[in-house]
Amino acid sequence: MSKTYNDNNAGNTGNAGNTSNAGNISKTGNTATFTKSRTEYSLRNTSTAMISKIIAILMGFLTRVVFTHTLSESYVGLNGLFSDILNVLALSELGIGTAITYALYKPIAQDDHEKQKSLMLLYRKMYFIVAGLVLGAGLCVIPFLGVLIKNQTGLENVLMIYILYLANSVLSYVLVYKRTLIDAHQLSYISEMHVTFFILLQDILQIIILITTKNFILFLAIYILCTLGNNISLSRKADKLYPYLKEKNVTPLEKDEKKSIYKNIRAMLMHKIGDVVVNNTDNIILSSFVGIVSVGCYSNYYLVVGSIHQVLGQVFRGITASVGNLGVTEDKKRVRKIFETSFFIGQWMYGFATICLFELLNPFVEISFGRKFLFDMPVVFIICLNFYLLGMRQVTLVFRDSLGIFWFDRYKSIFNAVINLFVSIILVRRFDTVGVFAGTAVSTILTCIWVEPYILYHRFFEIHVWQYFKKFAYYMVIMFFTAFVTHKLCALYAGNLWTTIFVRLAICVIIPNMLMFIFYHRMEEAGFVISKAKKFLGRRGDNNG
């Protein structure tokens, strides 16, 4: 089961997604039932997801350390390469989940079981088709493996390893579609707990196999077993929560409804084509132009950077269903206020995380994997810059997808992918590794950073996007100033590796947050966050009393 998989008892599940009257007390007979607000659903989903992700990441990191110390550098690179190849092949799926989730928000808010059944039937049929397409495309790649892998010295059973990766990718689509219904009901904490259990099981078994046998084939077999186990477990949980899923009398969707969904799928497919090309071709370019060992080095950095992004991403994944509900029950002014507050929170989190990564990445990688896996600081800077730019986009992407306006900027992703691929190939010839990641930064700045918020403000909020760009510029100036001050303070200390990490960590925790608080504490968004927190904590206190 992939660790980047986007990746319980709910009580009265029939009304789980109906939060238009969230926060009220309703009475059934003599029993008073408290209906959770969107804020409470978001906080529960977010907190559970973050804890689950942190646990999974720590275990994944331990597995990675054992992996790098028991298998050769070439196998580390092969792991990253095959993962990226199959992410590219999975393009046929990307877009279906987002489009179906968006279509589910309204029938869930209206407690329309029949429409939910119809949508899930369509979803199931689509995923069976996707599994077949991924299998076919994956088999077509086999003749080209020799071209994609430069310097195969020390590698054995490459074909068998690739087939196991492909099998895991295909089987990941079996039964997993039901998770979407759980998440759309604002109950994503349930699916996160299931996923975390199987990731922990997977990591423990893989560590045992690596230590006792050093057999990469058995290591991959555990992936497949845990992927199937997770999907079967989630499917059974969905059937228990929503028993109407097992009813045979399902009415197919009307032609116009299918047409609308297919249109949204086409739009999301274009978005995801661009995202996959940008995010998953770096390893392919590195392997082809620099060598498979360079892919292994980047895989270690990506493990750390990607893990941090996953943890922070859970904050916004936890509010996705609530934003969808917000869009169908509230006015646009209210939605914009929530967006601006979420953007404020997101830029603080990602700014702080970027500063920590820049100061701590190399010492951490050296201790964990060895000095031979280190990149030079210019490469680290570009990796951190890409992390920050991606983070600054997250809130906009969540609102765009949850509000269903992804049709209007569909071509942006294609331009982004073309620019990224073109610039990366040009720069890698001259600057090696740093050129690959610089291409990603250039393409993001030229397309995503300005197009995505423009579409959100123009098409949904129906106001000028200039307000967003002013805040974006202000946040970036504060972040770079804060990063400069923090870096200068970190540079004052020079000691052994462990002490350096602890001293830099202390500086990174205190200085950036202190400076950002000084700059931000009078902003309207900061006041809104504080008032919401006080209200929620007061309400929790009343309930406990």
SS3 track for 174-218: CCHHHHHHHHHCCCHHHHHHHHHHHHHHHHHHHHHHHHHCCCHHH
Q: Which residues of the chain fall short of a pLDDT of 70?
A: 1-42, 73, 84, 87-95, 150-155, 280, 292-293, 318-322, 328, 532-533, 535-545
Cβ proximity of 161 and 78 under 8 Å: yes
Cβ proximity of 442 and 425 under 8 Å: no
- Looking at this protein, which amino acid is placed at residue 545? G
Instruction: Give the model confidence (pLDDT) of 192-225 as tens digits.
Output: 888 889 989 999 999 999 999 988 889 989 989 9
Which neighbouring-strand residues pair with 28? 31
Residue 42 CB partners (closer than 8 Å, separation 6+): 186, 318, 319, 322
The Cα 302–Cα 286 span in angstroms is: 14
- Looking at this protein, which amino acid is placed at residue 217? I
φ/ψ of residue 21, rounded to 5: -110, 30
> Residue 423 to residues 151, 416, 420: CA-CA distances in angstroms?
24, 11, 5
Cβ proximity of 115 and 107 under 8 Å: yes
The Cα 69–Cα 73 span in angstroms is: 9
What would the 3-class secondary structure string for 270-320 be?
HHHHHHHHHHHCHHHHHHHHCCHHHHHHHHHHHHHHHHHHHHHHHHHHCCH
Cβ proximity of 350 and 392 under 8 Å: yes
Helical H segments across 318-331, by residue range: 320-329
SS3 label, residue 35: coil
The Cα 372–Cα 368 span in angstroms is: 11
Residue 336 CB partners (closer than 8 Å, separation 6+): 461, 463
> pLDDT at position 55, please?
85
> Residue 373 to residues 32, 75, 292, 439, 516: CA-CA distances in angstroms?
60, 14, 12, 22, 33
SS3 label, residue 50: helix
Burial class for 480, CB neighbours closer than 10 Å (0-12, 13-18, 19+): middle
The Cα 221–Cα 228 span in angstroms is: 11
Radius of gyration of the chain (CA): 23
The Cα 516–Cα 277 span in angstroms is: 34
> pLDDT at position 218, please?
92
Instruction: Identify the CA nearest to 345 among candidates 315, 321, 366.
Output: 315
Q: What is the percent of the chain where pLDDT is above 70?
A: 84
pTM of the predicted model over 0.75 = no
DSSP structural state of residue 149:
-
> pLDDT at position 369, please?
80
Taking phi over 0 as left and psi of -120 to 50 as alpha, with beta for the rest, 485 belongs to alpha
Q: What angle do CA 75, 78, 82 make, to 5 degrees?
A: 145
Quickly tell me which residue has 């608080």 as its tokens. Answer: 517
